[in-house]
Structure 1
Amino acid sequence: MKKMQTQVLAIFMVLFIIFGSCVVFFSTQLMQNYVNENQQEDLLEQSKLVLSNFDGLAKDKAAFSDLKEEAIKVKEYTNQRITLIDLNGTVIYDSKIDNYVSLENHSNRKEIQAIIKGESQGTDSRTSESTKKRLYYVAQPVLSQSGQLIGVLRLAKPSEEVNQLNGQIMQSIVMFIFLALLLTAGITFLIAKYIAKPIEEVMNVAKKLSDNHYEVRFSGNGYGEINKLGQTINELAESLDDQMQEIDQNKERINELINHLVIGVMQLDEHRNIQIVNPAMCQIFDMDSNKLIGKSYAEATKSYGLSYLIEKAYRKKEIQNKEIYFYFPSERIVDANVVPIAGKTKEDMNLIVLLYDITEIRRLEKVRTDFVTNASHELRTPITALKGFSETLLDGAMEDKVILKQFLEIMLEESTRLNLLVNDILELSKLEQRQVPISFEEVVVKEAVLSTFKLMNQKAEQKKITMNLFEEDSVKIEGDKNRLKQILANLVDNAVIYTKPGGTIDVTVKKNKNKAMITISDNGMGIPEDEINRIFERFYRVDKGRSRNSGGTGLGLSIVKYLVENSNGKITVESKVGLGTTFALIFPLRHL
């Protein structure tokens, strides 16, 4: 506020000083001209008055020198310098110079020349060569009794007297201007203070608004248009406050949305540094957001394909899209989209990088493709057999009773296998879509195992395989009894198939902390280590020929895996080639 008052006061003072200086200058010039003219007129009147004492006093120009006596008398009642000069320019008398005889010839003086030329009077203003002072000169013609010009009477007055008067006038004007300036400055200061206070308050409010302090308001201690301006500022502050709250809310919503997107989002500035990154992107890069923000994207991604795509977007300023393979920190397939965002200038361009992890989608597509291929292959064998034997019988083989019976038995076996395969495919499809109802109830694990042994007993006895149950703890789980039997039946059946005659199958039931654990172990052929991770894939067989010959569809373990997971359980496998295989089922215990 003081700064504004000082500025207003300074501007007014400068204007007043300029105006006052102009007034002083023009007033002084006017007064000086007026005084000079007045003094010259006064000197002219005095010269005429003095001249009246000399006109007609001398008979001729030879008697002009006799006028010196009269000049000495006139000197007594006038303070002006009196000089008598003949027509030759010789000074006859000078009231201020005692040795006037030594004065130079005055015929070249301007005022003297005017008289000699016949003018009624002559005037001039110059510095006197004899007195070295600036004087005003007035010359009058001196006439003889006959009216003939016989000489010149000249009066002179020092300009110091005129300048002294001018100085007094100027001093008075300057004093008046100075007093007026002080009085006006005081009034201006008070008015500026009164005006500046509300304006300064409006400025402070506007400054705080520019600094994002939207709670400030104008107090309303203004007047007229200033008060209206303050009210407008208050309305602006309220509008900005509402808008910022809405922006903050939208920003928070957008941040929540970005942070919960399954798509990786990353914003790059014009310097290729990361400004925004969401958790999904951090997971793809396997790095914390604190280590990513502010760093170059090249430090975050080790993918040449993504780097090339980003640089291409910076260069062409166009949206880029490509499917990219990541090999570090883990193998991934991502659908990358790079979107340029224009800034204030062409160089100030940001990028939004969107990475959608489609690794699982591609894996499922491959699994689906493999499933269709394998299912077609598995279905082709029994269908081809049925078609071939049917055509053979129709071609006449049905007349041979022995061949007819043999072919019909094969066709029955193949149709049974085909029926099992179709049923397993439908069952697996339902499990994948969670369309198989599971009723959770109390299930005694020992009873489910013994029921499975009864089902598999005949098949085990054919290979002289011994099945043992070891119950370390009495275990009850929360699950579906029939689905548990189906799981155990598949696992025990596989154990019987892949165990050599005379082998052993052990089922152990126990508690492990708050979980129930069921292990099915055999001493069969085992599974190679590099194939263990694939045994739950559909139609995958470790021993393809033996499994197919045994009547298996290749879908049993896939069905088991889905049944276990739908029952809130977990299945693991350990195996050594030639030593056997152990499957472990882990289910939550029944809470009493």
Structure 2
Amino acid sequence: ADSQLDPVTMDNHHDRPELQQAHESGLGVVTRFSETLSKSMRYMAMPIDDVNHQYGFIRVALPLSLIDQRLDRLRNIVMVAASLTAIIALLLGFWIARSFAVPLSRMTNMAQLYSEGDYKQRLEIDRQDEIGELAKTLNLFAETAAQREATRRDFIANASHELKTPVTAIQGITETLLEDAGMDEETRQQFLQKVNGQSIRLSQLISDLLALSRLESSGAESFENVDLKEIIERSCKVLQPFAKEKTLSLDVQCPENKVVISGDEESLNQLLINLLDNAIKYTPEGGKVTVQLSTYHEQAIVEVEDNGIGIEPAEQQRIFERFYRVDKARSKTLGGTGLGLSIVKHIVIRHQGHIALESTPGQGSLFRVTLPLVSL
């Protein structure tokens, strides 16, 4: 039987290649030119049989032209789909690239401004990805850099002013001495004492500036185990004569055992000297200065307390700033440079500690320094 032609008019197809393959292997697939249909065909044949007997074959065929048409159609569909996919991919890639390129370009321009010292502008990029994090980091950098630049300018201005004052005084006095050759000896000695005093102040200011610069640029590489009790006792002995000169009571309270911390002995000695010197200077005659050392929860606690003039609450927030003086006239009279407490703060920070101030005007001040102990 045949679905398209009358089988009576057809030859016996038993010898066709696809039927021979089906007879031998159970499946025959052949592409050939059909003499019967006068066209190229794709044949597939399978036997009709059971276990004991083969009854015949079933064969299906499709013109190659139809297969080619369907393949062409499928190929066109694939090509269109591939083209659309490529276009979408290009558009998506362009959008993604632009979404990164635009903010990166803005950040590059902003970084260029920051490198030139212009920290006024900020990036406005509201994203929750790496680009957003980078923008936040750049903004934070700009804020920090702006604060440091302002601090640097203030420091330079203050340092210039503080250095200029004694230099101007020395220059004025020496000019007076040079111009007045007939000055009496007593007046000359008074002028020379002023020059000496201004020279001492200038030397102290330069020394404090160098100490502050050294503290800001150094790390913990020179640390070693030191006995804080020994440093306190030694510092108190150095300043005892100055306390005695003002009839002040200098009371030292330390535990019997060593209190060991990791630190730089020279810096810690300067910390104690500065705090004690500050307390002695601003405590009236007949007053009392107390230094107490204790330990609590793996921390060494140093307290320097006086019953001096105290500090107003509004001033306490700025007491550790460079060149800041609560009473400028009084500080200069007492020989202060305005850097002592700033140096103290930097020493404490360098030793991973904490400093706090408690003060009541007219009653006195308490400086509390907390430093980590060394486990022995």
Taking structure 2 as the reference length, the TM-score comes to 0.65
| Partner SS for 1:526 | coil
Deviation at 1:522, TM superposition (A): 1.2
Match status 1:408 vs 2:195: no
Name which of 238, 243, 247 aligns with 1:460: 243
Deviation at 1:351, TM superposition (A): 11
CA distance in 1, matches of 2:279, 2:324: 16
Q: Is the CA contact 1:397–1:404 (under 8 Å) kept in the aligned structure 2? A: no
| Partner SS for 2:123 | strand
Counterpart of 1:188? 60
Name which of 304, 320, 323 aligns with 1:520: 304
CA distance in 1, matches of 2:343, 2:373: 22
CA distance in 1, matches of 2:314, 2:157: 23
Is the deviation greater in 535-544 or in 571-580? 571-580
Deviation at 1:449, TM superposition (A): 1.9
1:427-457: CA deviation from partner (whole Å, max 9, x where unpaired): 11111111797341331x3332222222112
Name which of 120, 123, 130 aligns with 1:336: 123
Q: Is the CA contact 2:219–2:350 (under 8 Å) kept in the aligned structure 1? A: no
Counterpart of 1:365? 149
Q: Is the CA contact 1:465–1:505 (under 8 Å) kept in the aligned structure 2? A: yes
CA distance in 2, matches of 1:362, 1:532: 24
CA distance in 2, matches of 1:487, 1:503: 22
- Segments of structure 2 that go 5 or more residues without pairing to the other structure are 10-36, 38-42, 46-57, 68-94, 112-118
CA distance in 2, matches of 1:573, 1:441: 27
Q: Is the CA contact 1:487–1:560 (under 8 Å) kept in the aligned structure 2? A: yes
Deviation at 1:319, TM superposition (A): 4.2
Match status 1:434 vs 2:221: no
Percent of residue pairs bearing the same amino acid type:
37
Counterpart of 1:570? 354
The alignment's C-alpha RMSD in Å is 4.0
**Structure with more contact order per residue of length (Cα contacts < 8 Å, sep ≥ 6):** 2
Deviation at 1:418, TM superposition (A): 0.6
| Partner SS for 1:188 | strand
Query: Is the alpha carbon distance of 1:398 and 1:415 closer, same or farther for their aligned partners in structure 2, counting shifts above 3 Å?
Result: farther
Q: Is the CA contact 1:452–1:485 (under 8 Å) kept in the aligned structure 2? A: yes
Match status 1:504 vs 2:291: no
Counterpart of 1:559? 343
Deviation at 1:415, TM superposition (A): 0.9
1:62-85: CA deviation from partner (whole Å, max 9, x where unpaired): xxxxxxxxxxxxxxxxxxxxxxxx
| Partner SS for 1:534 | coil
CA distance in 2, matches of 1:523, 1:556: 19
Name which of 454, 469, 473 aligns with 2:252: 469
> What pairs up with 1:344-423 in 2 under 5 angstroms?
352-353=131-132, 354-355=135-136, 356=138, 357=140, 358-397=142-181, 399-423=183-207
Taking structure 1 as the reference length, the TM-score comes to 0.43
CA distance in 2, matches of 1:478, 1:466: 30
1:190-215: CA deviation from partner (whole Å, max 9, x where unpaired): 9xxxx9xxxxxxxxxxxxxxxxxxxx
Name which of 437, 443, 446 aligns with 2:229: 446
Q: Is the CA contact 2:348–2:355 (under 8 Å) kept in the aligned structure 1? A: yes
Query: Is the alpha carbon distance of 1:396 and 1:336 closer, same or farther for their aligned partners in structure 2, counting shifts above 3 Å?
Result: same
Is the deviation greater in 370-379 or in 459-468? 459-468
The one-letter code sitting in structure 1 at the alignment partner of 2:123 is A
Deviation at 1:337, TM superposition (A): 6.0
CA distance in 1, matches of 2:198, 2:220: 27
